[in-house]
Amino acid sequence: MELNPVVISVILLCILCLLRVNVLLALIISAISAGLCANMSIDKIMNTFISGMGANSETALSYILLGTFAAAMTHTGLAQILARRIALIIKDNKYLLLMIIGTIAVMSQNLIPIHIAFIPILIPPLLGIMNKLELDRRAVATTLAFGLKAPYIAIPAGFGLIFQGLIAENMTHSGIEVIKTDVWKSTWFLGFAMFIGLLIAIFITYRKPRKYRDLDPVYNEKSFSKKSLRLRRKHYITLLGAFATLIVQLWSGSLPLGALIGLGIIFGAKAVRKRHMDKLINEGIGLMGYVAFVMLVAAGFALVLKETGGVESLLNWILPYMQHSKIISVTLMLLIGLLITMGIGTSFGTIPILAVLFIPLCAKLGLSTPASIIVLAASAALGDAGSPASDTTLGPTAGLNADNQHNHIQDTCIPTFLHFNIALILAAIIAVYIF
């Protein structure tokens, strides 16, 4: 077999990240290696890479504006009050804290679809509480990743409706007619498998105490006085800004516009003085700018992978091994999905690529429609948890590493990869026989 650009570039990406090369640089190097393996010229590689970055421009702008909004909430003290109220509720129960964080993460996908925007607002003020409880942040990372990922796979609302709509649309175009509202009746099984993976992470893998340096002096018993929990005018204005951000986003479909309106309310009503505007924008860029740039570069990497034709050649190479066994066939399809999503970093963008190739294969193998739905959904979702370039991992790291004590690869990517991707692979293989 000749060198496949997808395999080479994704393996190189993972190796570079494990060697602690910055994710941004690792993506650029891996994109160039993919193009060279496909005999593309350097000029074509870079032009394709740069043009592809525009695909995530709205997402990047959203993250920077929401980072500024998070900085404004911190500046007004609202984030700290929220953290203190949560601390009073949980007392010394770290599992209750994880449940609250997980519930908010689930709501961010379905009930209030703001995705990772809540993380830089909520998580940094809670780090002091986590340190006091000696809570292993890897358990928090897997909880956040579960809440960011499992709901859109299993629940037909918010981002889940978009994800499941993509599955139904692309499967119908590829020869198996599926109604969007029927997808969750199959994919709930994948969500359940991820829940089992989450329980293993919380109660087995990362249950032991882990000590961190407590760098925030705010978190002491004296800080939890009634006076410190009282909401003032600036806090109510900030809450109004957050509510307006949500309403405008849902009405217009534009998260950047919603964030801009929310910031306009905060500055216009003087919850934060205008003289602090430059400082807050700089803080917002510092908080979420890195994630925004990684998402831009990941989109460029994704387009280079598509242009190489490596996905089709990889599938053609494994076709001879997929003729006689459903288990082997499904496992190979899942591994291809894992490779592609690890590189691209988005399960939503992987669905159209895989559906054209996988759905005819599922029909040829005699898989039922529910089993085909599960195989496609799992193939697309695999790698989203664990990919260095996925917002499912970048988001938790952005919050948990606010005090520079949480490593993106070791503490977010590897834990989420192990607990969720193994669960998804096993669930998809089992589904072939029970659906």
Q: Can you spell out the DSSP letters for 129-184?
A: HHHHHT--HHHHHHHHHHHHHHHHHH--STHHHHHHHHHHHHHHHTT----GGGTH
Task: Compute the distance between CA of residue 435 and CA of residue 431 in angstroms, rounded to an integer.
Answer: 5
Classify residue 327 by burial, with Cβ atoms within 10 Å: 0-12, 13-18, 19+.
exposed
pLDDT of residue 219: 47
Each of the 435 residues of the chain gets a pLDDT tens digit; together they read: 467 888 888 889 888 988 888 888 988 999 999 999 988 999 999 999 998 888 778 778 877 887 787 778 777 877 778 777 887 888 889 999 999 999 989 988 776 666 777 787 788 888 888 998 999 999 999 999 999 999 889 988 777 887 888 899 889 988 889 998 899 999 999 999 999 999 999 999 999 999 998 765 444 444 555 556 677 888 888 888 888 887 887 787 777 888 888 888 988 888 888 777 888 888 777 767 777 888 788 888 888 888 888 877 877 777 777 767 788 889 988 988 888 888 766 777 778 778 888 888 888 888 999 999 999 999 988 878 888 888 889 889 988 998 889 999 999 999 999 999 999 999 999 998 888
pLDDT of residue 228: 60
Kindly state the DSSP code that residue 2 receives in the 8-state scheme: P
Task: Map residue 252 onto helix, strand or coil.
Answer: helix
Residue with tokens 């499904």: 330
Give 236-242 contacts, CB < 8 A, sequence gap 24+. Answer: 237/76, 237/265, 237/266, 237/269, 237/270, 237/271, 238/72, 238/73, 238/76, 238/78, 238/266, 238/271, 239/78, 240/265, 240/269, 241/69, 241/72, 241/265, 241/266, 241/271, 242/69, 242/73
pLDDT of residue 102: 94
Classify residue 281 by burial, with Cβ atoms within 10 Å: 0-12, 13-18, 19+.
middle
Q: Enter the pTM of the model.
A: 0.82
Task: Compute the distance between CA of residue 21 and CA of residue 208 in angstroms, rounded to an integer.
Answer: 29
The token pair that represents 271 in the structure block: 């919850």
Determine contact, residues 299/48, Cβ cutoff 8 Å.
no
* Of residues 353, 342, 422, the one with CA closest to residue 384: 342
Helices (H) and strands (E) counted in the chain, each on its own, are 20, 0
Residue with tokens 């952005």: 398
Sign (positive or negative) of CA dihedral 85, 89, 91, 96: negative
H-type alpha helices, 232-346: 233-252, 255-268, 277-308, 310-318, 326-344
pLDDT of residue 400: 93
* Of residues 231, 235, 284, 279, the one with CA closest to residue 260: 284
Distance of alpha carbon 16 from its chain centroid, rounded? 20
Q: How many residues does the structure list for the chain?
A: 435
The token pair that represents 13 in the structure block: 């990406």
Span 12-53, pLDDT tens digits: 988 898 888 888 898 899 999 999 998 899 999 999 999 888
Task: Compute the distance between CA of residue 159 and CA of residue 24 in angstroms, rounded to an integer.
Answer: 26
* CA dihedral of 223, 227, 232, 234, whole degrees rounded to 10: -20
